[in-house]
Amino acid sequence: MHRGTKYRRFPDWLDHWLQHRKQIGLLSFFCATLHALYSFCLPLGRVNRYEVVNLAIKQVLANKSHLWIEEEVWRMEIYLSLGVLALGTLSLLAVTSLPSIANSLNWREFSFVQSTLGFVALVLSTLHTLTYGWTRAFEDSHYKFYLPPTFTLTLLVPCVVILAKGLFLLPCFRRKLSRIRRGWEKDGGVKFTLPMDHTLAQKTSHV
């Protein structure tokens, strides 16, 4: 958008990163799947059994026959639901990355799945982490050795990306981006530049 054209090549570092988006997406799906499998296996661990026993002992000592914390119940239900939705969206992205599926989609469908659903998956994953952390980011007891909880560190990059995406969705930026994607040029012409050579000077033609 700064250059005002879509006909100029991206910088090498950005072009190199864009070429690896598919691999990064598949890696995120793999990590999300492992995370879900590990979460299913947590109740089978001995640590979880000790926690259940300790909670039951505390309930008996407190002489409480019914222990129900409304906030904790809703928090767990919400972050589990968001996690399932995020994993389902990432599964769609992974399936459409297969060559046989990708070749059967037209450009509009493929762009919607990879761009729109990709952003939806990022938002769902971020909300999943936020509801998991809840208010623990503001409690001093979770700052061991004066270090923040791990979930707060993982939220830095996704929140920056979501804020940047929201900024570009504003009408003042969205209209200009739409015009550039349709071929609009800031200087009013399309420039075609030949590769530089030691014996040839740079030639530029205006259309």
What mean pLDDT value characterizes the chain?
Answer: 81
Query: From its phi and psi, is residue 98 left (phi > 0), alpha (psi between -120 and 50) or beta?
Result: beta
Which are the contacts of 169, defined by CB distance < 8 A and separation ≥ 6? Answer: none
Q: How far apart are CA 117 and CA 120, in angstroms?
A: 5
Structure confidence at residue 19 as a pLDDT band (50, 70, 90)? confident
**pTM for this one?**
0.77
Write down the domain spans for the chain: 12-189
Q: Output the pLDDT for position 194.
A: 55
> Residues 51-72: what's their mean pLDDT?
77
Pairing of strands 191-193, 204-206: antiparallel
pLDDT tens per residue across span 165-181: 988 888 888 887 777 77
The larger pLDDT score, comparing residue 186 to residue 17, is at 17
* Least confident among 7-16, 21-30, 45-54, 181-190: 181-190
